[in-house]
Amino acid sequence: MITHDQRRLAFHVTAGHEPTLVLDAGGGEDSSYWDALVPQLSQATGSRIITYDRAGMGASDEVKGPWDGRAAAADLQAGLSDLGVTQNVVLVSHSQAGEVAGYFAGANPGVLDGAVLVDANLPQFFTDAEIQRLVAVTAPQIEELKKQPSTKANRQLIATAEDFGPTHQAYHQVSWPDDVPVTVIVSEKTPFDGSPEDAQRWRDAAAAFVAAGPGRTLVTAQGSSHDVPKDKPALVEAEIERMAATAK
C-alpha cells in the first residue's frame, strides 16, 4: 500500500529484473484482471511485474468527483516512485487506462521504454462530434446505474460520466512522446460492436494514432471483442514480450 494525496493505493509486485512491466486494467476493473496473464509473463520474460488498483477500485481508496486521467497518472507515478521504479518501464494499458498512459507518458520523460496499448482510449477518437454522441448514448445507462445498489464499479462508471465532455476534450489534445515506442492492439469488434459507425471511428483513431509518430505499430486482434486480454491472451502476451525484449 502506498499513500498519495491522502489516499491509499494497492500495488502488487511480482519480483524480477528490468524492464519492469506495469499492467493497468480498464474502467471498472482492478488488478485482478491480470491474474491469469502475470504468471505467464513472469515465466516468459523474468521481468518484475506490477499491477495495481486505481483509486476507487479493488483495495484502493475511493476519490470523490469525476474521473480524472491526470490524477490517475499522478497516482501511478507516485506508486512506482515509492517502489523505486523510475526507469526501464513497459506500460501495458487496456481500454480506459489508455488515458492514464497518455498523461503518464507526457509527464514522466525517461521512465517508459515502451508501451502496449490494448484496445485503449486514444486521443484521436475523442472528437467533439464523438464526445457528444457518446454522452447522448450513455446518458440513459448512467441514469439506470444510479438507481442500482451502489458498488465500487458502479460508482467508477458514474464518475467517468461526470464532466465527460470537458475531460475528453482535454484528452483529445494529448500527444504521445516520439521517443517512446508503442504497440497499439485494436480489437476487431471494438467496444462498439453494435454500432458500425462508432466501431469504424475507433479503428480509424487507432490508425491515426499510429501514423502520428515514429516507432508505432498497429496490430489487429482478429475475432476479439474489446476484452482482448481475455479473448486473445496469447497475442497480448506476445506483444508485451516483444516490447520488453526491445527495451532490454
In the chain, the amino acid numbered 151 is T
User: In this predicted model, what pLDDT tens digit does every residue of 168-196 receive, in sequence order?
Assistant: 999 999 999 999 999 999 999 999 999 99
Is-contact 31 12, C-beta < 8 A? Answer: yes
User: In this predicted model, what pLDDT tens digit does every residue of 89-105 receive, in sequence order?
Assistant: 999 999 999 999 999 99
What is the Cβ-side half-sphere exposure of residue 145, based on CA atoms within 13 angstroms? Answer: 18
pLDDT above 90 (res 154): no
In the chain, the amino acid numbered 9 is L
**Rounded to the nearest 5 degrees, what angle is found at the Cα of 86, between the Cα atoms of 81 and 90?**
115
The model carries a pTM of 0.96
Three-state SS string over 139-168 comes to HHHHHHHHHCCCCHHHHHHHHHHCCHHHHH
Strands 112-118 and 89-94: parallel
